[in-house]
Amino acid sequence: MQICEIEKVIKHNISHKTIFFSCEKCKNAIPGQFVMVWIPGVDEIPMSLSYIADVQAITVEKVGEATEALHSMEEGEKIGIRGPYGNGFKIEGSKALFVAGGTGIAPLMPLIRKYEGEKHVILGARKKELLLFKEEIEELAHLHVSTDDGSYGFKGFATELAEKILMEENFDIVYTCGPEIMMKKMLEICIEYSIPMQASLERYMKCGVGICDSCAINGYHVCKDGPVFSEDILTKMRDFGKWRRNEAGRKIKI
């Protein structure tokens, strides 16, 4: 573990912040990889890297004790960084569609920045105020926005907008991250349109290196075999989009 000083904090809205730090091992991380973040005196949690360069960042949604503690931290305070871990995205083709739901845009951002072909990004959120990285994406790609309540862009789910776009244009690859039900639907759409897909999964993790078995799904470990999986593996996961495990290891319906 490397102890890192928080160098900058960007507040996006009441629920989301991006925290910047410098970790020597993370400079050459692959888009889609994650780190284990230690919050002193609180917990250690997995977080995707939302910025990868000489300085790195995680984008945090306030949803529990550990993320609330991260939200309360300021520049100059210290966190522990372990990693990067897992398998990231593989760059394919020359025209890509990125489909993000909520904070699922975070692990996609380093890939969007790195992808050199034509790129279209569907940015989905419950409402306008929760859209993340909108201005930066507009400079990097063709942006399509969906909000559940219709407060900005297309009214409806990101998958509905994705299917509409796929009916009009051809893509070499789809990259997606967000709620698992959304990604399950995206997988069904990609199979229907015969388009390769890569998805970043989220599961409860303790170790981050495939030992504790807490992130296991149908013979795969999200931390070690993923978190990014291609459509050929996702179709073999019976629990994908249906079940997950809680802190006690019990299966819970998604």
Domains in the chain, number: 2
Same domain, 248 and 168: yes
Residue-wise pLDDT tens for the chain (254 aa)? 999 999 999 999 999 999 999 999 999 999 999 999 999 999 999 999 999 999 999 999 999 999 999 999 999 999 999 999 999 999 999 999 999 999 999 999 999 999 999 999 999 999 999 999 999 999 999 999 999 999 999 999 999 999 999 999 999 999 999 999 999 999 999 999 999 999 999 988 889 988 888 899 999 999 999 999 999 999 999 999 998 888 877 888 98
The residue from 85, 110, 127 where one domain ends is 85
Which CATH number characterizes residue 38's domain?
2.40.30.10
Per-position DSSP letters for 111-161, written without gaps between them: HHHH--SEEEEEEEESSGGG--SHHHHHHHSEEEEEETTSSSSEES-HHHH
* Range(s) of the domain holding residue 244: 95-253
Contact predicate 179/140, CB 8 Å = no
Structure tokens given for 200: 């970043």
Tell me the residue length of the chain.
Answer: 254
User: Within this chain, do residues 70 and 179 fall inside the same structural domain, yes or no?
Assistant: no
For residues 70 and 143, membership in a common domain is answered with no
Burial of 43 (0-12, 13-18, 19+ CB in 10 A): middle
Asked if 111 and 79 sit in the same domain, the reply is no
- pTM of the predicted protein model: 0.96
Co-location of 37 and 108 in the same domain: no
